[in-house]
Amino acid sequence: MGFWLRGVVEKKIQIMKKLKFIKGLAIPFGLSAVPFGAALELVKQGEEPTAIIVGLLTPTILAAFILLKQVKNDYDRKEAIERRRRNYRRKKN
């Protein structure tokens, strides 16, 4: 019974890792590919000034996702530090 349960848990962990990859990498690059493709199409049509403005959305989208990830990591670190402090105080008393 234990081996069967371990297999189920490992499969669920693999699925969670794939979802984390999709959320963390595939979505930002997928969303930034849309304005990049639109900018390329505008260049083909001869609309270069508009293509430059639309093309600037790509690094802006990637920067926004990086900022969100940094804020989340900072929050998680802060919470972990607070948890450690609370647990240390409990053990000491």
54-72 tens-digit pLDDT: 999 999 988 998 898 898 8
- Amino acid (one-letter) located at 9: V
Report the predicted TM-score, pTM, of the whole model to 2 decimal places: 0.62
Q: What is the pLDDT of residues 12-49, one digit of tens each?
A: 778 877 777 777 777 888 888 899 999 999 999 999 99
More confident residue, 87 or 3: 87
Nearest to residue 61, comparing CAs of 23, 34, 40? 34
As a whole number of angstroms, the distance between CA 16 and CA 57 comes to 30
What lies within 8 Å, CB to CB, of 56 at 6+ separation is none
Q: What pLDDT was estimated at residue 82?
A: 87
Q: What's the pLDDT band for 87 if we cut at 50, 70, 90? A: confident
